[in-house]
Amino acid sequence: MKNGGENQHTEEFERDIPTGDLRRLAEFRYRTGQSLHFSEEVAHSKGIEPPQDPLLLAHKGSPRGLA
């Protein structure tokens, strides 16, 4: 059960951030989740475990000489 302080903090957060910004943030999080799910599925199909996937992506996807 939430106490009054937590409810007040949530109300202040919602009041301080414009609705359009909250919608863009929600869309960003949704699309990030979709991308992560897709990446995990591709990794599994290639026999790569998800913890290896970000490392492989960083190495293979980075500009030459940066990884």
48 located within any domain: yes
Name the pTM for this structure: 0.53
Torsion of CA 34, 27, 63, 41, to 10 degrees: 0
66 located within any domain: no
Residues spanned by the domain of 35 = 4-61
67 located within any domain: no
Q: Model confidence over 8-65: pLDDT tens digits?
A: 667 766 678 898 999 999 999 999 999 888 888 888 898 887 677 677 777 777 777 6
Counted domains in the chain: 1
- DSSP 8-state class, residue 62: S
44 located within any domain: yes
- DSSP 8-state class, residue 55: H
